[in-house]
Amino acid sequence: MNLEVLGIIVLWIFLFGYVIVASIDFGAGFFNAYSLLTNKSHILSNIIQRYLSPVWEVTNVFLVFFFVGIVGFFPQTAFYYGTVLLVPVSIAIILLAVRGSYYAFESYGSRGHKGYAFAYGVSGLLIPSSLSVVLTISEGGFVDIIDDLPQLDFWALFTSPLTWSIVLLSIASVLYISAVFLTWYAWKAQDWEAHELMRKYALIWAGPLIFMAVAIIIQMQQHNPDRFRNMISIWPMFGISATLFLMTVWLIWKKRGLGLSVGLLILQFLFAFFAYGISHYPYLLYPHLTIYEGFTNQEMAISLVIAFIAGLCLLIPSLYLLFRLFLFNKEYVTGNQKDFHA
C-alpha cells in the first residue's frame, strides 16, 4: 500500500468516527427537543444528559482531526475545497459553535429553556445537512475551474436532486444511529420507558434510511455514470451493509441482543462508508483532484504517519479510560451513584 492510500484510509476512519459519534450527539439533541414538544421530556432528558455530558467535547475533536489531517496529507484540498466551501462550511462552523457552547452553558451554567432546547435540536439536523454538501460537491459537476480557480455553481448545487437526497440521507442516518444507540443505552440504564420510546424511533427511522440510500445509488447513475459503475463493481460491500442493517432491525424488533445491535449498526455503516469511499477512489474532488495529485511530499507524509501512530498510543488508552469510567460503568449509566460533577 502506498502512503497516499494509507493517508486517506486513516482520515476516512476518523471521519467515520465523527459520523457515528456526532450522529448520536445530534440525534440525541433532536429527540430531546422533540420530546419537549410532545411533553415526553421527562422520559428522555436524563438518559441523554448522562450520556452526552462527559463526551461532548470529544465529538468535536474527531472533526478537527479530519480536516487538519486532510490538509496535512493533501494540501491541495485546502486550495480546491477551501476556495469553494467558504459559505457552507462557515455556516456549519457557526452552527457548531452555537451548539457546542450552548450545550456547555446549559449543562454547567443555568438550566432549562424550551426555545434553547428547540434550537439545539434543530441545529443537530442542520449541521449534518450543511456538512454533507461537501460530499455532494466531491461527486463532481458543481465545481468548474475558471482561470485556474475553482468556482462553485451554487445554482446547480441547490437545484440538484442529488444534493437534497444526500441531505435527507444524512438526517435519516443521524436519527437512526442515535435511536439505535440510545435504545441500547436506555436498556443498560434500566430506563424502560426511555428504552421503549427510543426503540420506536429506531424502527421508524430505519425505513427512510434505507430508502434514501437506495435512492442515492440510483441517482448516481444519472449524475455521474463513472462513479455509478464503480459503486456497482463493489456491490458485495453494499450487500453486506444491507444484510447487517436487516439484522439490526430484526434484533431491535425482537428486543434481543441490543448490545450486538449497536455493534452491527456500526459495522453496517462502516461497510457502507468504506464502499462509498472505495468507489470514490482515486478522486478527492471529481474529476479535478485525485489523492495522487493532491498528496504532500514523502517526508511530510512519513512524519505525519509517525505522529499519528504515536498519537494513537496516547489516545487509545485515554479513550478506554473515558469509556470505562462513564459509558461502560454500570453505576454511572444507571445513575445510581452520587453526582461527582465539579
Partner 1 sequence: MMNESAVFWSRMLTELTLSFHIIYATIGVGVPLMIMIAQWVGMKNNDEHYILLARRITRGFVITVAVGVVTGTAIGLQLSLLWPNFMRLAGQVIALPLFMETFAFFFEAIFLGIYLYTWDRFDNQTKHMLLLIPVAIGASMSAVFITVVNSFMNTPQGFELVNGELVNIQPLVAMFNPSMPTKVAHVLASAYMTSAFLLASIAAFRLLKGSNHIYYKKSLFLMMKLGLIFSIATAVIGDFSGKFLAEYQPEKLAAAEWHFETEEAASLILLGFMDQEENIKLAIRIPYALSILAHGNPMAEVIGLNEFPEDEIPPLYIHYLFNIMVFIGMFMTLVSILYVAGVWRGWQFIKKVWFRWLTVLGGPLSIIAIETGWWLAEVGRQPWILRGYMRTAQGATTSEHVDMMFILFCILYIVLGIGSIVVLSRMYRANPIEQEIQDRMAEVEGGVR
Determine which residue in the list 5, 64, 145, 246 makes contact with partner 1, applying CB under 8 A: 64
Quote the CA–CA distance of 47 and 28 in Å, as a whole number. 9
Quote the CA–CA distance of 287 and 226 in Å, as a whole number. 10
333 binds partner 1 (CB under 8 A): no
Determine which residue in the list 55, 122, 134, 135 makes contact with partner 1, applying CB under 8 A: 55
Supply the minimum distance, in Å, between the C-beta of residue 319 and partner 1.
6
304 binds partner 1 (CB under 8 A): yes
Supply the minimum distance, in Å, between the C-beta of residue 87 and partner 1.
5
Amino acid residing at 292: Y
325 binds partner 1 (CB under 8 A): yes
Look up residue 183 and give its three cell numbers. Answer: 435504545
Quote the CA–CA distance of 245 and 50 in Å, as a whole number. 27
149 binds partner 1 (CB under 8 A): yes
Supply the minimum distance, in Å, between the C-beta of residue 230 and partner 1.
27
Quote the CA–CA distance of 177 and 17 in Å, as a whole number. 12
316 binds partner 1 (CB under 8 A): no
Supply the minimum distance, in Å, between the C-beta of residue 81 and partner 1.
7
Look up residue 189 and give its three cell numbers. Answer: 440504564
Name the segment binding partner 1 (CB under 8 A); options: 134-142, 230-238, 244-252, 307-315.
307-315
| Overall size of the chain counted in residues | 342
240 binds partner 1 (CB under 8 A): no
79 binds partner 1 (CB under 8 A): yes
Query: Please, which residue, 72 or 121, has the CB nearer to partner 1?
Result: 72
Q: How far is CA 59 from the centre of its chain?
A: 10
Rg (Cα) of the chain, in Å, rounded? 20
142 binds partner 1 (CB under 8 A): no
Determine which residue in the list 27, 29, 69, 121 makes contact with partner 1, applying CB under 8 A: 69
Residue in 108, 102, 105, 104 with CA at minimum distance from that of residue 121: 102
9 binds partner 1 (CB under 8 A): no
Name the segment binding partner 1 (CB under 8 A); options: 40-48, 70-78, 204-212, 225-233.
70-78
83 binds partner 1 (CB under 8 A): yes
Q: CA geometry: angle at 125 spanning 181 and 224, to 5°?
A: 100
Quote the CA–CA distance of 80 and 284 in Å, as a whole number. 10
- Identify any residues that bridge with 67 across adjacent strands, giving them in sequence order: none
SS3 268: helix
Residue in 31, 61, 68, 42 with CA at minimum distance from that of residue 314: 61
297 binds partner 1 (CB under 8 A): yes
143 binds partner 1 (CB under 8 A): no
The H or E element spanning position 285 is strand 283-285
Determine which residue in the list 37, 108, 113, 218 makes contact with partner 1, applying CB under 8 A: 108
Query: Please, which residue, 54 or 263, has the CB nearer to partner 1?
Result: 54
Name the segment binding partner 1 (CB under 8 A); options: 22-30, 99-107, 164-172, 199-207.
99-107
Residue in 225, 81, 74 with CA at minimum distance from that of residue 152: 81
Look up residue 298 and give its three cell numbers. Answer: 514523502
What is the helix, strand, coil percentage profile of the chain, to 5?
Answer: 80, 5, 15
Determine which residue in the list 22, 63, 231, 265 makes contact with partner 1, applying CB under 8 A: 63
Residues that bind partner 1 (CB under 8 A): 53-55, 57-58, 60-61, 63-65, 67-69, 71-73, 75-83, 85-87, 89-91, 93-94, 96-98, 100-105, 108-110, 147-149, 296-297, 299-300, 303-304, 307-308, 311, 314-315, 318-319, 321-322, 325-326, 337-338, 340-342
